[in-house]
Amino acid sequence: MNIHAFAPASRPGLETAHFLRDSDLSDHELRSLLEVAYQIKIEPESCRDSLKHRAIVLMFEKPSLRTRMTFELAAAQLGALAVFQDHRDGRIGEREPARDIARNLDRWFDAIVARTYSHRTLEQLAQWSSVPVINALSESYHPCQALADFLTIRERFGSFEDLRIAYVGDGNNVAHSLMYCAAQLGVSISVCGPPGFGPREADLAVATAVAEAHGSTVDVVADIREAVRDAAAVYTDVWTSMGWEDETQQRRIAFDAYQINDAVMTLAREDAIFMHCLPALRGQEVSDAVIESDRSVVFDQAENRLHAHKALLMMMVNGA
């Protein structure tokens, strides 16, 4: 792996009270957080016990492997206690209102990490919580994933200058977060998929405006060859996100021509990387050969969740 050291980073806190979407961070905060995450990765002892005597609650309505494990491990390695609660018997707000849940949790915990079906649930928790609420995935955004992704890109290429990402797949929460982060960092992005499955118009408009201010572009195209050609990173995700399982067959048909395989990857830059947020359905959105190739950085992305989550918790809970 070609890892380039980040510039030395101070560890300022974040001005935002909550992290519900990528745009909650300013350009400077996003870059600072990524730099802190990298410093933590190369010097893990530098942050040990930085959240000693703190407590984090994880409330997940959806299944999770990487997000749950890395937040729990991040808390433990920072010296904090992590308490996990799932909602197999009901979603947040069903048994009691989200505003009541928030005002219980903020008496006990120093941060609330929530994975929800509805982004509105996160907004309700944040409205009533006096401690930071962190979006661990909603149907609208996956901002913690994007932090790990751009840390991975920065490691591989050394900077964000003159880069373009091709995202091929459903215009879902991951696509929205990638658009916002790319725009803030001056990275161009092409979002590619069949008509009717693109990103939300409101998010596309905002991300496009931000990109223009940073000298980059956000494009939506239907031709996979156009999207991938000369891209530095080719990213895909499952065609059917959690909560949309009733559309599985319809989506398999619609996305049939959008698989990332060896032929598609030959269109990208010679040094291009393949990215996926995982879990992957091998043989559908990506071939087994690509995900197991030397170009694949999917497990680097997974590892970098840990370092990104550490940085995020430190900067939101401690202002460290």
Catalytic amino acids? Answer: 115, 142, 145, 237, 277, 305
The letter for the amino acid at 246 is: D
CA atoms within 13 A on the CB side of 57: 18
DSSP string, 212-270: HHTT--EEEES-HHHHHTT-SEEEE--SS-TT-GGGHHHHHHHTGGG-B-HHHHTTS-T
Q: Which long-range contacts (CB under 8 A, 24 or more apart) does 42-46 make?
A: 42/5, 44/77
Instruction: Give the number of other Cβ atoms within 10 Å of residue 263's Cβ.
Output: 11
According to DSSP, residue 60 is labeled E
According to DSSP, residue 83 is labeled E
- Which residues, 6+ apart, have CB-to-CB distance to 28 below 8 Å? none
- Which residues, 6+ apart, have CB-to-CB distance to 268 below 8 Å? 166, 228, 229, 230, 231, 232, 234
CA distance 108 to 237: 36
What ranges make up the beta strands (E) of the chain? 55-60, 81-86, 111-115, 133-135, 164-168, 188-192, 218-221, 233-236, 273-276
Contact 170, 241 (CB under 8 A): yes
Q: Which pair of structure tokens corresponds to residue 233?
A: 């990173």
Query: What does the CA dihedral 224, 278, 203, 243 come to, rounded to 10 degrees?
Result: 110
